[in-house]
Amino acid sequence: MASLKQDINEQLALIAQGLASPQRLEMLEYLAQAERSVDELSRLVGLSVANTSRHLQVLKQAALVVVRREGKRRFYRLTGDDVVTLVSSLRNTAEIHLAEVERLMQSYLTQKDALEAISAEELLERAQQGEVTVLDIRPEKEFYAGHLPNAINIPPEQIAERIEQLGVELSEGGRKIVAYCRGPYCLFSYDAVEVLRNKGLQAQRLENGFPEWRAAGYPTQRNPDSGNH
C-alpha cells in the first residue's frame, strides 16, 4: 500500500515532468507575460499547433496552466504567480550548480552589460523619489496586460527609433533610465541599455523582468483599454 509520502511525490513528479522540456519552459515564460491562444503560442515557440497543444496538455495536467474557451478557441494562462517563482527557483539552482549555464551566461550576457543590474527594491525606492525613468521593452500586448507603475513602453522592434525620438526626454532632470523586459535572460533590455549608453545616457537594466516583479508583490499597473490590444 502506497504511503502518503509516495502519493505526494507522485504529484510532485507531475510538476517536474511539466517543467522537463525547453519548449514548455519557453511557453511558461510567454504565459507569464499575458494570456495566449494556442495559435499565438504556436507562432511564438515555432511549433505546430498540434505539438503546442500536446505540450499545453502536459502543463495543464501538472496544474501549471489553466485554459479558457472562447468559441472554438482556447486561451491559456498561468495558474498563479507561484509558477513564476517556481521557474525562478529552477533557474537560480541551475545558475549555481550547472557549469554550462554559467558558461552560457558569461558568453551571452556579460559581454552585453558589464554593469551590475539594479534590484527591484532599489528601483522601487528610486521610482518613488522620481529619480528614474522606467522603460518596458516588451511587445505592446504584454505591456497592456500589466507593467511597472508609470513605465513607458518601447516595443523591441522600435528600440532604436523611439530612443532616438525620446532620448533627451527620458533623461530629463538627470534621471537614470532603467529598462526591463520579460525576465533576466531577455535580451531586449540589454539592447535598449546598449542603445541608450551609446547616446551618452545613464541607463541600467532591472535585475529581473515583469513576472518576477509582480510575483514578489511589488506594485503594477494595467491599462484600462488592455482588452483592445
> Active-site residue numbers?
181
**CA 27 to CA 13: how far, in whole Å?**
19
What are the phi and psi torsion angles at 116 (to 5°)?
Answer: -65, 140
∠ CA 112-22-218 to the nearest 5 degrees?
65
C-alpha cell at 124: 522601487
